[in-house]
Amino acid sequence: MSRIAAEKILSAAQNVLIMTHVRPDGDAVGSAFGLKHLLLDWGKNADVFFPEPAPDYAVGFLTEYKTELTAEELEKYDLLVFTDSAAPERIACGNWDIAELLKRNSLCIDHHENNSVNAAVKWVQPRAAAASAMIAELANQYKGAEYQLPVKAAEFLLLGMTTDSGCFRFSNTNPRLFFMAALALNSGVEWSRIINAVYFSKPRQQQLFEADFVQNHVQIAADGKLAYAMLPQSLFDKYGFDMRNGETLIDLLREIKGTAISFHCYKKGNDVKFSFRSKDENYPVLPVARKFGGGGHLMAAGLTLPDAGLEESCERIKDTLIRYLNGKSWE
């Protein structure tokens, strides 16, 4: 479905509850809270149900939100919106059964390939760099070119646009993104506040964690085309580091000269979590992630292997990627 359908369902609603994905990143925060501030500007009631902690860099931007949602509260909303959420099981909805929530009037705004959220209205644009960029576009189209984004909405949308594109460096960076970022900047947002919070506020402990990661955990394979790292729990413990703040850790692998694919993995409860990036269009990572039950974007994907061992899983994925990079059968 199209942006027009999204505009229609939003315009008909009066009380909107917005949710986003688990382990929220900058675009999750940016799209959910950015939409909230737009809807407030458009004379609607809008709340964000945000039951999981935000990355530290985003905390200073957050405005009011709900961490709990009673059945009685839920009744007062006539529309639920899910932003940046690729699959129903990826939606952060606290103790609620997502299947129950999806029976209600709902809208999904997302930019992941193969989105499987069966909302009443879906607007999915895999080529959009960020869900936040889609929401800026919706505001621009719905309200017209003269519409000035409210400063708070613009700030959140920029937060999402910059983080999902690695500050306009990743392969998803396109003219639309720059255009939407320019629109948002035009509202009078303090850009340096966003940049300083996201890129120049790294705690010293995190820097030391990253140095240890680079020094002792990064491995190179496939004649330099693959960089990967397996992160043991002891490394997290040593620096008190939480992967909630590890969104850019993968870039320490991707930045290495000559690499096409990078990944890291770590244990979360009984599961093993993988993050994949590619910087070579000949070797997108999505097909490999999907093969093992993961998802995401063509060049940036993720995977959770339930009830798996860290070492064995890492070996298995590494071997698959080596075959993939060497043009051998890997499926």
Give the nearest distance from C-beta 90 to Mn ion in angstroms: 11
Between residues 147 and 178, which has the closer beta carbon with respect to Mn ion?
178
Positive/negative CA dihedral, 112, 113, 118, 120: positive
Q: Least Å distance between CB 163 and Mn ion?
A: 8
The nearest distance, CB 212 to Mn ion, in angstroms, is 29
CB of 131 to Mn ion, least distance (A): 5
Q: Which is nearer to Mn ion, 27 or 155 (CB)?
A: 27
Binding pattern for the stretch 117-136 against Mn ion, x by CB under 5 A and - elsewhere: --------------x-----
233-262 residues in contact with Mn ion (CB under 5 A) are: none
User: Taking CB under 5 A as the rule, does residue 47 contact Mn ion?
Assistant: no
Angle (deg, nearest 10), helices 26-41 and 131-143: 20
Nearest approach, Cβ of residue 196 and Mn ion (Å): 22
Q: In 3D, which of 274, 311, 268, 312 has the Cα closest to residue 293?
A: 274
Residue 89's alpha-carbon distances to 118, 132, 249, 265, 272, in angstroms, are 11, 21, 24, 20, 17
Does 84 sit near Mn ion (CB under 5 A)?
yes
Q: Which is nearer to Mn ion, 131 or 149 (CB)?
A: 131
Q: Give backbone dihedrals phi and psi of 305, rounded to 5 degrees, phi first.
A: -100, 110
- Closest residue to Mn ion in the complex (CB): 27
Angle between helices 26-41 and 151-164 (to 10 degrees): 160
Q: Does 210 bind Mn ion (CB under 5 A)?
A: no
Task: Find, among 276, 278, 280, 303, the residue nearest to 292 by Cα.
Answer: 303
Select 165 or 313, whichever has its Cβ closest to Mn ion: 165
- Candidate segments 68-76, 94-102, 119-127, 158-166, binder of Mn ion by CB under 5 A: 158-166
Shortest Cβ 103–Mn ion spacing (Å): 25
Q: Does 110 bind Mn ion (CB under 5 A)?
A: no
Q: Which stretch binds Mn ion (CB under 5 A): 76-84, 114-122, 234-242, 256-264?
A: 76-84
Q: Residue 156 and residue 162: Cα distance in Å, rounded? A: 10
- Binding-residue pattern over the window 18 to 37 for Mn ion, x denoting contact by CB under 5 A: ---------x----------
Closer of 126 and 232 to Mn ion (Cβ): 126
Binding of Mn ion at residue 164 (CB under 5 A)? yes
**Binding piece for Mn ion, criterion CB under 5 A, among 3-11, 78-86, 148-156, 249-257:** 78-86
Minimum separation from the CB atom of position 111 to Mn ion (A): 6
Minimal distance, residue 112 CB to Mn ion, in Å: 7
Contacting range for Mn ion; rule: CB under 5 A; set: 58-66, 81-89, 260-268, 318-326: 81-89
Count of residues that interact with Mn ion, criterion CB under 5 A: 4
Residues that bind Mn ion (CB under 5 A): 27, 84, 131, 164
